[in-house]
A = this chain, B = another copy of it.
Amino acid sequence: MKSRRDRSDLKYFFEPASVAVFGSLREGMGMGYGMVRNLLQFGYSGKIYPVSPYHSEVMGRKAYSTVEEVAEPIEAAIVITPPPTVPSIVEQCARKGVKAVTIVSENFAEAGEEGGKYQQQLVEIARRTGIRIIGPNTVGLYNATNGFLTNPYIIVQKKIRKGNVAYCSQTGYVGMAAQPLGDRATPVSKMCDLGNKCDVDEADLLNYLADDSETRVVVMHIEDVRDGRRFMVAARRVVARKPLLILRPGRSQEGARAVASHSASLAGNEQVYDTAIKQVGAIRLNNWQEYWEMPRIFAYQPLPRGNRIAILTLAGGVGVSAVDTAIASGLSIAHFSESTARSLKKIYLRLSRNPVDLGPILSVSEDPFAVQEDVIAAVLDDENVDCAAISLYVGFEELMAPIVEMLDSLKHRISKPVALWIYGMQLSVLDEMHRQSEERGLPTYLDLETAVKALGAAVRYSRIKSCGE
C-alpha cells in the first residue's frame, strides 16, 4: 500500500480512457442506463463498459456481467447500486486493475450504522488494494474538456460551457445541472462533489487542481476537513499558482449542527477554519451567490496592481452603495489625476469625480456610446486607477449592437481589470448581452455591488501573491 500522500493524482477520475458503469441498465429509469446516456450525450469519447448481471446490452452496446469479462484494461468505474453490493463491486474493480471508482450510491455513513459498516469496508478495500474512491453519496464529477461525467440523472440536458473555473463541493447541489441562473453560469473546467470522502478528500482534490492546466481558479465548498495539516499544505500549493476561493457554511451553532446532520462529520470550530483559510491565503466566500459569481473575475481578467477602484454609473445613487461596498471589500476610491480630471471635464463639466455618474451626459449626448467609451478609456488610463466597476444600461434590443461595438473597441483601449454590471428591462436582452460581454472576456455581474466585491477579491489575491500576505 502506498502512503496517502503519494496517491494524490486524480487523473484517472477525471481523464479516464475507459470506464465501467455499474447500475441498473433498465431503459429510461435505470441509473446505469442514465450514466451511459449522459456520457454519450456529453461527448465522452473513451471506452464505456456497462456492467450488469441482468442485461446483455444497453443503447446498442454490449453489457458485461463483470468487469473481468472485459479483455481490455479499464481505468475508471462509476457505481450506483445498493450499498450491500458496492464493496464486492469495488473488489472486482481492484482485481481488474481499475484505478479510480466514483461511488454515486447513497445510504452509507450519512444514513446510519448499517451504511457506515459498508463504508468502512470500502475504506479497507482502498487501503489494501490502492484503488482510489470518490464518494460514496455523491453526484461525483464532471470534466468539461473530455465530457466525462458520473451524474446518472436526466436533469443533465445541456452541456455547461467549458471554461477555467474548477468547482469542488461537499454537496450534490454543485452537480453539473445546478448552477443557478442557467445560461449565465460560469464556464467550468472541472466539477467535483466529494460526498462522504471515504478515501479521496479535499487535500487530494486541491493537489490535483493545483497541477491541472485547464483550471485557472479553484472554488471549494467544504463542510469539514479530514486532515488539517494536509489540507493546509495542499491549499498553499494551489494559492502559489492560482486563486483559491473557499465557502464554508456552518458559522452559526445551528449551522454547525446542520453540517453534522448532513455530512455525518463534526463541523469543527468556526474560528479554527477561519484562521486556517486566511493563513493559507485563500479567499473566504460568504454565501452561494459569491460561490457562483466571484470566480469570473479571475477567469477572465488580469490581476489588479493595486486597490484603487474607479466606479462608473448611470445614476449617482447606485455609486454610493458601490463606494460602501468597495470600502468594505478593502478597495480604495481612486482620486483621478489632474490630467484625467481635465479630460473628463472637457467631455462634461461634472464628470471629474469618482464615482463617475454618466447619467447626465448620456441623456443629452448626441453620441452617447462614443462618450461612454471615451470616459471609460480615460478613467482606466489614469495612473491612479487600478481597476474599474462599470455599469451599462441595455434597456432594449436596439441598444445591444452599439454597446457590443463599444465593448469591441474598448477591448483594445484598456488593459486593467474591469467588472461589468449590465441592467435593463428585458431578460432576453440581458442574457444575450451577458453572453456577448463574457465572450469578450468581460465578467458580468447581476448588480454593481457584486461587481465591486469581485474586484475586491481580485485585489486580495493580488496582494497575497505579491507580498505573501
Contacts and interface: CB of A to CB of B under 8 A. Distances in A.
Contact of A171 (B263, B317, B332): B317
Interface in A358-396: 359-360, 363, 393, 395-396
Nearest to A317: B171
A211 to B, nearest CB: 26
Contacts of A287: 321, 325, 447, 449
A170 interface: yes
A158 B425 contact: yes
A228 to B, nearest CB: 20
A262 B396 contact: no
A426 B182 contact: yes
A115 to B, nearest CB: 10
Copies in the complex: 2
Q: Which of A153, A249, A333 has the most CB of B within 10 A?
A: A249
A324 interface: yes
Contacts of A349: 111
Contact of A262 (B221, B319, B448): B319
B447 A359 contact: no
Nearest to A158: B425
Interface in A401-429: 423-427, 429
Interface residues of A, number: 83
A316 B262 CA distance: 6
Interface string A41-76: 000000000000000000000000000000000000
Nearest to A160: B425
A363 B153 contact: yes
A155 interface: yes
A323 interface: yes
B324 A255 contact: yes
A430 interface: yes
B318 A111 contact: no
Given A255-B327, A360-B106, A250 B393 contact: no
A170 B180 CA distance: 32
Contacts of A431: 427
A232 interface: no
Given A182-B426, A261-B353, A263-B316, 13 more contacts: A157-B395, A158-B426, A160-B425, A171-B316, A177-B395, A178-B393, A180-B447, A184-B427, A255-B321, A262-B316, A262-B319, A288-B447, A446-B446
